[in-house]
């Protein structure tokens, strides 16, 4: 049996641009993540304070045997979805996103991920339209170009 062909809209995640620490971040809204995470580079860009953890935490990824270690975190100011205030993010080497909004944030703030409408809804009535696959690809290309000029 061959693997089925999957159209891009069938595998599209819910991602959006949100304001964190006064800058726009590419964010993945991930209901499978039990942590909220930020890249060290994004934390530095927003002048976030690194908090060294007293004990490193194992980060178990989706594949068996695939894991990383969290050594630092940060607390940064948010400004999206009608939510303002500070939130804790673990610092993780993410590949495609500046931040991952996981279940801690979603449970705390009552977010609803609507894949049919491709939107993230907040109890306040605020709605964020998720990026299209094309917008996401363009944003990542732009992000990679910025990173290569810094290297």
Query: Predicted confidence band at 134 (pLDDT cuts at 50, 70, 90)?
Result: confident
State both tokens at 47.
Answer: 């002048």
* Res 96: pLDDT: 84
pLDDT at 150 over 60: no
CATH number of the structural domain 17-111: 2.40.70.10
Would you list the domain boundaries of the chain? 17-111
Distance (Å, whole) CA 86 – CA 79: 9
Q: What residues form DSSP beta bridges with 14? A: none
Give pLDDT tens digits for 90-108.
Answer: 999 888 899 999 999 999 9
State both tokens at 123.
Answer: 């109890």
State both tokens at 50.
Answer: 């690194």
Query: Predicted confidence band at 138 (pLDDT cuts at 50, 70, 90)?
Result: confident
State both tokens at 63.
Answer: 């594949």
Average confidence score pLDDT of the chain:
85
């Amino acid at each position: 049996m061959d693997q089925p062909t999957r159209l891009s809209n069938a595998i599209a995640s819910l991602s959006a641009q949100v304001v964190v620490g006064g800058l726009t971040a590419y964010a993945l809204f991930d209901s499978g993540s039990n942590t909220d995470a930020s890249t060290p580079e994004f934390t530095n860009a927003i002048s976030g304070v690194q908090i060294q953890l007293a004990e490193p935490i194992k980060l178990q990824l989706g594949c068996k045997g695939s894991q990383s270690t969290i050594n630092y975190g940060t607390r940064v100011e948010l400004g999206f979805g009608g939510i303002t205030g500070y939130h804790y993010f673990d610092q993780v080497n993410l590949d495609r996103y500046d931040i991952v909004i996981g279940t801690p944030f979603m449970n705390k703030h009552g977010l609803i991920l609507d894949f049919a409408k491709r939107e993230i809804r907040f109890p306040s009535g605020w709605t964020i339209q998720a990026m299209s696959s094309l917008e996401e690809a363009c944003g990542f290309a732009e992000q990679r170009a910025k990173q290569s000029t810094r290297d």
